[in-house]
């Protein structure tokens, strides 16, 4: 396999920046072009050591702009577009759904349209090698009861403005393959965690709240279940899809770690009790408080990732036990990173409360 030029959208965000790190660490790319609008969740500090690499280019721009996207495609002629750019926090989608429709639906439409127009003018070799990876979420499938798992053919049933916007973008991407024979592959992943995750999400929020002496707010009864995927495992899965995924296919990517939210919080507290015990002798879990549930809160997500395992040979390497320890240690060792966010952007306030 030859070294490829990658156009990454949203490369300063959580998963996008981890994927860029993964490409550099494994020397997988000839050139990396990072297009990011730099919303509140985009952070150039995620890529500090990469900034000066000769084969890395950062462009601040909006995926909704035909001119920006069209010019980048013409200039760099990427072999792969990996589309991470999205508004992604359910609570923020409750407060401001229009931004989610604009970025996740209109932005994806623009990327697909401009990519297809550009592709028409390439020679057959370049055209045959090109791939567009549309990175999505398991939330498009809606909520599960106590039994069952999401498979790639599970009907879509989104519950939040966020998941509805991602479901829409999935449908548009799939239509581009069916109508225009466009070489798109869709991935739907479970909840990611790991380094560089913006502190509004459950795991970094709980880690940082324990370190700053704040309450640990748990929605409802805390019994909502998610499947947890360590972000570097996700990066490896995406690269596997880039290399050998089937055009027009959808792949569910999961960590095989179904855990209730309250257990996640208690696990974080137990690990921090060990690593940095409180002088009082109490447990960090004493700070758990139950708060009003999120509106439309899906009860359970669970991914059946047997297709990507059986067809492409990928499986997660990290258990939740190993992944959460690595994650906690990263936040302990990178306090300047999250304190900068605290000072400038987000102070762990509650979002998404319908009044």
- Residue 67: which CATH number? 3.40.50.720
Does residue 82 form part of some domain? yes
Q: Which domain holds residue 161?
A: 4-194+229-255+299-317
**Whether residue 113 lies in the annotated active site:** no
Q: How many domains does the chain have?
A: 1
Does residue 53 form part of some domain? yes
The whole-model pTM stands at 0.95
Does residue 275 form part of some domain? no
CA 101 to CA 108: how far, in whole Å?
Answer: 10
CA dihedral sign, ordered 20, 26, 28, 29: positive
Task: Establish how many alpha carbons lie within 13 A of residue 78's alpha carbon, considering only the half-sphere containing its beta carbon.
Answer: 30
Which pairing describes strands 56-60 and 29-36: parallel, antiparallel, or unpaired? parallel
Does residue 220 form part of some domain? no
Question: What pLDDT does 354 receive?
Answer: 58
Does residue 218 form part of some domain? no
- Asked whether the beta carbons of 5 and 80 are under 8 A apart, the reply is yes
Active-site option among 162, 193, 251, 301: 162
Token match 């279940």: residue?
A: 225
User: What is the 3-state secondary structure of the chain?
Assistant: CCCEEEEEECCCCHHHHHHHHHHHHCCCEEEEEEEECCCCCCCHHHHHHHCCCCCEEEEECCCCCHHHHHHHHHHHCCCEEEECCCCCCHHHHHHCHHHHHHHHHHHHHHHHHHHHHHHCCCCHHHHHHCEEEEEEEHHHHCCECCCCCECCCCCCCCCCHHHHHHHHHHHHHHHHHHHHCCCEEEEEECEEECCCCCCCCHHHHHHHHHHCCCCEEEECCCCCEEEEEEHHHHHHHHHHHHHHCCCCCEEEECCCCEEEHHHHHHHHHHHHHHHCCCCCCCCHHHHEEEECCCCCCCCECCECCHHHHHHHCCCCCCCHHHHHHHHHHHHHHCHHHHHHHHHHCCCCCCCCCCC
Does residue 44 form part of some domain? yes
Encode the chain (355 residues) as per-residue pLDDT tens digits: 578 999 999 999 999 999 999 999 999 999 999 999 999 999 999 999 898 899 999 999 999 999 999 999 999 999 999 999 999 988 889 999 999 999 999 999 999 999 999 999 887 777 889 999 999 999 999 999 889 999 999 999 999 999 999 999 999 999 999 999 999 999 999 999 999 999 989 999 999 999 999 999 999 999 999 999 999 999 999 999 999 999 999 999 999 999 999 999 999 999 999 999 998 889 999 999 999 888 888 889 999 999 999 999 999 999 999 999 999 999 999 999 999 998 887 666 656 565 5
Does residue 190 form part of some domain? yes
**Whether residue 139 lies in the annotated active site:** yes
**Whether residue 193 lies in the annotated active site:** no
Active-site option among 36, 87, 138, 258: 138
Active-site option among 87, 114, 139, 236: 139
Structure tokens at 247: 């055009």
Question: What pLDDT does 297 receive?
Answer: 86
Does residue 207 form part of some domain? no
């Amino acid at each position: 396999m030859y070294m490829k030029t990658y156009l990454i959208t949203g490369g300063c965000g959580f998963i996008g920046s981890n994927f860029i790190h993964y490409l550099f660490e494994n020397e997988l790319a000839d050139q990396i072009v990072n297009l990011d609008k730099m919303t509140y969740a985009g952070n150039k500090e995620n890529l500090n050591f990469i900034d000066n690499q000769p084969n890395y280019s950062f462009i601040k721009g909006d995926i909704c702009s035909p001119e920006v996207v069209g010019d980048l495609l013409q200039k760099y002629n990427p072999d792969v577009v990996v589309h991470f750019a999205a508004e992604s926090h359910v609570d923020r989608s409750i407060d401001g759904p229009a931004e989610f429709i604009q970025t996740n639906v209109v932005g994806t439409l623009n990327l697909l349209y401009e990519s297809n127009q550009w592709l028409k003018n390439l020679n057959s070799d370049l055209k045959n090698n090109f791939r567009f990876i549309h990175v999505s979420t398991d939330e498009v499938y809606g909520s599960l009861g106590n039994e069952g798992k999401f498979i790639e053919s599970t009907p879509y049933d989104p519950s939040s403005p966020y998941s509805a916007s991602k479901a829409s973008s999935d449908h548009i991407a799939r239509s581009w393959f069916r109508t225009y024979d466009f070489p798109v592959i869709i991935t739907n992943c479970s909840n990611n965690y790991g380094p560089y995750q913006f502190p509004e999400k459950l795991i970094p929020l709980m880690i940082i709240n324990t370190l700053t002496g704040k309450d640990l707010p748990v929605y409802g009864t805390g019994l909502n279940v998610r499947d947890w995927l360590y972000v570097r495992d996700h990066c490896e899965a995406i690269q596997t899809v880039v290399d050998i995924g089937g055009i027009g296919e959808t792949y569910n990517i999961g960590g095989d770690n179904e855990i209730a939210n309250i257990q996640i919080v208690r696990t974080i507290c137990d690990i921090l009790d060990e690593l940095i015990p409180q002088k009082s002798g109490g447990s960090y879990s004493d700070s758990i408080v139950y708060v009003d549930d999120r509106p439309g809160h899906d009860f359970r997500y669970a991914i059946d990732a047997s297709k990507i395992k059986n067809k492409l040979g990928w499986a997660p390497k990290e258990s939740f036990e190993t992944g959460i320890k690595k994650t906690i240690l990263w936040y302990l060792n990178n306090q300047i990173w999250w304190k900068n966010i605290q000072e400038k952007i987000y102070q762990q306030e509650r979002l998404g409360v319908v009044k």
